[in-house]
Amino acid sequence: MLNQATLRSFIIAICVLSTLLSGVVQAQLIVEITEGIKRRPIAVVPFGWEGNAGDVPLDVASVISADLTRSGRFAPIAEEDMLQKPTSGADVDFDDWSILGVEAVVVGSVTQTGDNAYSVQFQLFDVFGRDQLVGYRMPASRGTIRRVAHRAADMIYEKLTGIKGVFDTKVAYVTAEQGRDGESYSLTVSDQDGENEHKIMESKDPIMSPAWSPDSRRLAYVSFEGNRSSIFIQTLRSGNRIQVSSKPGINGAPAFSPDGRKLVITLGGVDGNLDIYTLDINSRQSKRITTHRAIDTEGSWSPDGRYIYFTSDRSGGPQIYRVSADGGTAERVTFEGSYNARPRLSPDGTRLAMVHLDRGNYRIAVMDVKRKDLLVLSAGSQDESPSFAPNSDTLIYATRPGRNGVLESVTADGLIRQRLASVQGDVREPVWSPFQRF
């Protein structure tokens, strides 16, 4: 096991310093940067607006700037420090940007093209090379312009880092609240920056284990309505849902197969012997995958669809196993530490995230699938529910520093860790959506 403690205070000092220098005000998600690296200074110039005065549908530059800041890799400079504010590439004076020490500049504009129609264009320049790295134009409506801004940020991010951006993605999470009439639980979907929150389900009974379908149109989850557990699949656009598993005993831990046609689930039956099953969503036929009398639960698919990873305490305490998706002999996958649970493979199949007991603390760890070495990523004592972003580069998870649960994100190399502060209440079980189709 490795951790980053040796460099930690030095790195935090650098990143705090560069955050102060950047002067960017965050309206939404990030409050604390708890672990960081040196951020690259860039400039996102306020976009031009061609349309009626006061009718600007969105401050696109601000959304792009916030996205890049939130990645932990960039420090956009403040507008008041800019020596010029071009809105098109032809007007960029590279000397003015060189002086400021920024390595890249984004310029752009929004043009009204119709009643509810806009054109958003941006150009990204390399200051040292004095060259355009990417330029793009996209149509938008008032309803889609925020997503267009996120897509622009994705393109800029990928050009500058080589990593696919995840700014145009969503997260879902469960919130628990203590009200006057008792507890209430809700399942919420929001943009990854915390905007556009939608409560898609509310209940006075617990909700657990949300899981995105691969086409990001549906969420599966466990509901305890009626004082029993059952599994639902809800279509986000319509809010309609179907109950896909309500067998006697436990119904739990749903996760979609890569082709979206099946769920892996946990069933306990009347005798309470938890085992892994796969469920065909259309036919509702289930197929038993494990038969051991240990607790076998928390199944998830490998991205190639060949294996199911799951938690089992058949060797005494929880460890992670994998089995062929058609069933067969399970093989143990984790050997470090006395508690490894809740396996989730990264979308690129290279890393396995888990909950790992690290010297008395429940923390998020990732294991390189090939090299099998374990890296502890988080630093709390009650960390749980790791979920990869679709670019496999960052994870979101829940932790509990006090009475309320909060969400944090961390890069898969452990170098950048942040608390996500815009969500109120006792939050748990975050899941990051797949890439959204347009």
Partner 1 sequence: MSKYKLLLVSLFFVLLAGCASQDIPDPDPDSTDSTYGSEDGADTDGMDGSGLGEGEAIDYDPSQGELANIIYFDFDSSELQPEDAETVARHAMLLTNDPQLSVRLEGHADERGSREYNIGLGERRAQTVRRLLLIQGASAGQISTVSFGEERPAGFGSTEEAWAQNRRVEIKYTN
- Residues in contact with partner 1 by CB under 8 A are 183, 206, 208-209, 224, 227-229, 248-250, 252-253, 266, 268, 270-272, 274, 295, 297-298, 311, 313, 317-318, 339, 341-342, 355, 357, 362, 381-382, 384-385, 400, 403, 428-429
Q: How near is the Cβ of 325 to partner 1 at its closest, in Å?
A: 19
d(CA 207, CA 190): 17
Q: How near is the Cβ of 298 to partner 1 at its closest, in Å?
A: 5
For residues 15 and 207, which CB has a smaller minimum distance to partner 1 in the complex? 207
For residues 97 and 212, which CB has a smaller minimum distance to partner 1 in the complex? 212
Q: How near is the Cβ of 174 to partner 1 at its closest, in Å?
A: 10
Q: How near is the Cβ of 414 to partner 1 at its closest, in Å?
A: 20
d(CA 269, CA 157): 48
Enumerate the β-bridge partners of residue 175. 186, 427
Within 180-269, residue ranges assigned H as helices are none
DSSP assignment string, 24-77: PPP-SSEEEEEE--PPEEEEEPPPEEESSTT-----HHHHHHHHHHHTTSEEEP
CA-atom Rg of the chain in angstroms: 23
Looking from the CA of 321 toward its CB, the CA atoms found within 13 Å total: 25
Can you read off the two tokens belonging to residue 40? Answer: 């690259």
Q: How near is the Cβ of 310 to partner 1 at its closest, in Å?
A: 10
Can you read off the two tokens belonging to residue 370? Answer: 């090939």
For residues 47 and 388, which CB has a smaller minimum distance to partner 1 in the complex? 388
For residues 103 and 313, which CB has a smaller minimum distance to partner 1 in the complex? 313
For residues 22 and 385, which CB has a smaller minimum distance to partner 1 in the complex? 385
For residues 94 and 339, which CB has a smaller minimum distance to partner 1 in the complex? 339
φ, ψ dihedrals at 392, nearest 5°:
65, 5
The residue to which tokens 């264009």 are assigned: 121
Q: How near is the Cβ of 357 to partner 1 at its closest, in Å?
A: 8
How many other β-carbons are positioned within 10 Å of the β-carbon of residue 55? 8
For residues 40 and 228, which CB has a smaller minimum distance to partner 1 in the complex? 228
Q: How near is the Cβ of 142 to partner 1 at its closest, in Å?
A: 39
Closest CA to 62 of 243, 200, 193, 221: 193
